[in-house]
A and B are shown apart, each in its own frame.
Chain A
Amino acid sequence: MVTSQCLGVVLTLVATAVFLWFFAQIPAVAGGAVLRFDRAWVPFLDVSFVLRLDGLSLLFALLISGVGILICIYSLTYMRREVETRRYWIHLGLFTLSMLGTVLAGDLITLYVFWELTTVTSFLLIGFRRTSAEARFAAWQALLITVGGGLAMLAGLILLPVATGSYDIETLLGMGDVVRDHHLYPVLLGLILVGAFSKSCQVPVHFWLPGAMVAPTPVSAYLHSATMVQAGIYLLARLHPVFGGTLAWSTTLAVVGGTTALVGAVLALCQTDMKRVLAYSTVMALGTSVLLLSGNGEAPVVAAMTFLIVHALYKAALFLVAGNLDHQTGTRDLTRLGGLRRAMPLTALAAMGAALSMAGLPPFAGFLGKEGLYAGALTMDWPVLTAAVLLLATALVTALAGIVALGPFMGPQTGERHEAPLAMWSAPLILAALGLLIGLFPGLVEPLVGPAAGAVLGRGVEVHLSLWHGLGAPLALGGLTLLFGGVLYLLRARLRFDVPVDGALIFHGALLGLLRFAAWLGHRVQTGVLRHYFMVVFMTLGVLVTGAMTAHDAWPALPDWPDLHFAEWVISGITIVAAITVAVTHLRLLAICALGVAGANVALLFVIYGAPDVAITQLMVEILIVVILMQVMLRLPRFDVTQDLVRQHRLAHLVVAILAGGVMAVLLLSATSGALDPKLGDYFIAHALTEGYGRNVVNVILVDFRGLDTLGEITVLGIAGMAGYALVKVHWDKAWRRRKK
Chain B
Amino acid sequence: MKRRSDIEKSLILQAGTRLLVSLMLLFSIFLLLRGHNEPGGGFSAGLVAVTAFVLSSIAEGSEAVRQALRFDPRIIAASGLALATVSGLMSMVVGEPFMTGLWAEVFGHLIGTPLVFDIGVYLTVVGAVLSVILALEEEG
Q: Which residues of A contact B (CB under 8 A)?
A: 612-613, 616-617, 620-621, 623-624, 627-628, 631-632, 634-635, 692-696, 698-700, 702-704, 707-708, 710-711, 714-715, 717-718, 720-722, 724-725, 728-729, 732-733, 736
Q: How many A-B residue pairs have CB under 8 A?
A: 150
Give the most central of B37, B58, B125, B128: most A CB within 10 Å.
Answer: B128
Contact of B13 with A by CB under 8 A: no
* Contact present for B40 and A711 (CB under 8 Å): no
Q: Which of B35, B77, B117 contacts A696 (CB under 8 A)? A: B35
Q: Which of B50, B98, B135 contacts A725 (CB under 8 A)? A: B135
* Contact present for A693 and B99 (CB under 8 Å): no
B15-23, B41-49, B63-71: which lies at the A interface? Answer: B41-49
Given A717-B124, A728-B136, answer yes or no on A617-B44 (Cβ-Cβ < 8 Å). Answer: yes
* Contact present for A620 and B47 (CB under 8 Å): yes
Given A617-B44, A624-B133, answer yes or no on A699-B35 (Cβ-Cβ < 8 Å). Answer: yes
* Contact present for A702 and B47 (CB under 8 Å): no
Give the complex CA separation of A627 and B88 in angstroms. Answer: 34
* Contact present for A722 and B131 (CB under 8 Å): yes
- Distance (Å) between the CB of B4 and the closest chain A CB? 8
Instruction: Identify the closest chain A residue to B127 (Cβ).
Output: A721
5 new A-B contacts at CB < 8 Å, known A702-B42, A703-B42: A628-B132, A628-B133, A628-B136, A696-B37, A711-B99
* Contact present for B77 and A722 (CB under 8 Å): yes
- Distance (Å) between the CB of A270 and the closest chain B CB? 59
Q: Which residues of B contact A717 (CB under 8 A)?
A: 77, 124-125, 128
* Contact present for A703 and B114 (CB under 8 Å): yes
In chain B between 91 and 140, which residues have their CB closer than 8 angstroms to a CB of chain A? 98-99, 101, 103, 110, 112, 114, 117-118, 120-121, 124-125, 127-129, 131-133, 135-137, 139-140
Q: Which residues of A contact B40 (CB under 8 A)?
A: 613, 616, 696, 699
Would you give 30 A-B contacts (Cβ < 8 Å), ordered by A?
A: A613-B40, A616-B44, A617-B43, A628-B132, A628-B136, A631-B133, A631-B137, A692-B101, A692-B114, A694-B114, A699-B40, A703-B41, A703-B121, A704-B101, A707-B88, A707-B99, A708-B88, A710-B84, A711-B99, A714-B80, A717-B128, A720-B128, A721-B127, A722-B77, A724-B131, A724-B135, A725-B131, A725-B132, A729-B139, A736-B139
Q: Which residues of A contact B85 (CB under 8 A)?
A: 711
Give the most central of B42, B103, B132: most A CB within 10 Å.
Answer: B132
Give the complex CA separation of A634 and B73 in angstroms. Answer: 23
- Distance (Å) between the CB of A479 and the closest chain B CB? 74
Given A616-B44, A721-B128, answer yes or no on A703-B50 (Cβ-Cβ < 8 Å). Answer: no
Instruction: Identify the closest chain A residue to B126 (Cβ).
Output: A721
Contact of B26 with A by CB under 8 A: no
Q: Which of A634, A695, A698 contacts B140 (CB under 8 A)? A: A634
Instruction: Identify the closest chain A residue to B38 (Cβ).
Output: A696
Contact of B12 with A by CB under 8 A: no
Q: Which of B114, B124, B133 contacts A627 (CB under 8 A)? A: B133
Give the complex CA separation of A724 and B135 in angstroms. Answer: 9
Given A631-B136, A632-B136, answer yes or no on A703-B39 (Cβ-Cβ < 8 Å). Answer: no
Give the complex CA separation of A632 and B77 in angstroms. Answer: 23
- Distance (Å) between the CB of B6 and the closest chain A CB? 11
Q: Which residues of A contact B73 (CB under 8 A)?
A: 721
Instruction: Identify the closest chain A residue to B121 (Cβ).
Output: A714
* Contact present for B39 and A616 (CB under 8 Å): yes
9 tightest A-B contacts by CB? A721-B128, A620-B47, A612-B39, A694-B36, A732-B139, A724-B132, A616-B44, A728-B135, A699-B41
Q: Which of B37, B43, B127 contacts A694 (CB under 8 A)? A: B37
Given A707-B114, A714-B121, answer yes or no on A722-B74 (Cβ-Cβ < 8 Å). Answer: yes
Instruction: Identify the closest chain B residue to A710 (Cβ).
Output: B121
* Contact present for A718 and B112 (CB under 8 Å): no
Q: Which residues of B contact A729 (CB under 8 A)?
A: 135, 139
Q: Which of B41, B58, B88 contacts A613 (CB under 8 A)? A: B41
Q: Which residues of A contact B43 (CB under 8 A)?
A: 613, 617, 702
- Distance (Å) between the CB of B58 and the closest chain A CB? 8
Give the complex CA separation of A729 and B140 in angstroms. Answer: 11
Q: Which of B118, B131, B140 contacts A703 (CB under 8 A)? A: B118
Q: Which residues of B contact A628 (CB under 8 A)?
A: 132-133, 136
* Contact present for A620 and B51 (CB under 8 Å): yes
Q: Which residues of B contact A721 (CB under 8 A)?
A: 73-74, 77, 127-129, 131-132
- Distance (Å) between the CB of A620 and the closest chain B CB? 3
- Distance (Å) between the CB of A458 and the closest chain B CB? 49
- Distance (Å) between the CB of B74 and the closest chain A CB? 6
Q: Which of A617, A694, A708, A718 contacts B80 (CB under 8 A)? A: A718
Give the complex CA separation of A16 and B30 in angstroms. Answer: 68
- Distance (Å) between the CB of B114 and the closest chain A CB? 4
* Contact present for A732 and B140 (CB under 8 Å): yes
Give the complex CA separation of A708 and B100 in angstroms. Answer: 10
Give the complex CA separation of A708 and B91 in angstroms. Answer: 13
* Contact present for B114 and A613 (CB under 8 Å): no
Q: Which residues of A contact B41 (CB under 8 A)?
A: 613, 696, 698-699, 702-703
Contact of B1 with A by CB under 8 A: yes
* Contact present for B81 and A718 (CB under 8 Å): yes
Give the complex CA separation of A707 and B38 in angstroms. Answer: 18
Q: Which residues of B contact A613 (CB under 8 A)?
A: 39-41, 43-44
